[in-house]
Structure formats: C-alpha cells, structure tokens
Amino acid sequence: MLYLKNSHRQPNNLISALIVSTLIIPLFILDLWSEIYHRSCFPLYGFKYLNRSNYIKIDRYKLKYLNFWQKCYCVYCGYANGLVNYWVKMAAETERYWCGIKHQSDGQFIQPEHHKDFADYNNEEDFIKKYKS
C-alpha cells in the first residue's frame, strides 16, 4: 500500500481511486461473458473447466488493521487481478487450441509462457511436425 507513504498526493489518489472504481462495471460484464464462453466452449474443445477459486482470492478484507475503504479496495483488487489472471489462463488455453504459433521475435515482445511449446514463427517444418503429423 504505497499510497500510504505518499500522503502529499491525497487529491491525486482520490481521483485515481474514483476512476479505478468505475472499472468494476466492465469487469462484471466481461466476467459474465467469459464465464459463458468458458462453460460452453471448453467442453467442446475437450478441456477441463478452470477452477475460478484457483485464480480469484478475496481474503484481505478480513485483516483487522485495515480501515473500511482499504478493505473495500482489497476486495476489488483481489477480484480484479484474480479475474484477469483467470482470463489469461482461459485465453492461453484457447490460443493453444486455435493457434499454437509463436509470434515473430523482435527483441522487445515478451512471449507469454504458454508459447514455449508453440510452433516457431515462419517455420513450416515445425508447424507440420507439431500439428499435422
């Protein structure tokens, strides 16, 4: 909670908190839609369901030394960051199924961890070996 060390930024923190809070609306909408996707498409691909509770953890609100607003934002951050982590796993499984080719390396792009077993970019032999044999 680095904001506690920056009390001189109180107006900026308040404005930022209000803006960040509005993200809850698209998060809920995307959560609902992605769960519909997850529950309908994963069985079609032969994938096991992902366990949401492995990605979303909301527990810091139980800490007695936090005030009400800190607890609220801890709930928000646990949900938002866990949900995005859940989406990353869901997207990775989808990409593994539908694409499976690494991106072109340009020295700046950070390849996602799940790309390690993908076919190399612009390598037809690797593509055929991994997906057509």
| Per-residue three-class SS string for 83-125 | HHHHHHHHHHHHHHHHCCECCCCCCCCCCCHHHHHCECCCCHH
Cα–Cα distance between 21 and 23 in angstroms, integer? Answer: 5
CA nearest to 120, candidates 106, 103, 132, 98: 103
What does the pLDDT look like over 46-88, one tens digit per residue?
999 999 999 999 999 999 999 999 999 999 999 999 999 999 9
pLDDT at position 14, please? 84
Domain edges within the chain: 51-103+111-131
Phi, psi (rounded to 5 degrees) for 66: -95, 145
pLDDT at position 1, please? 66
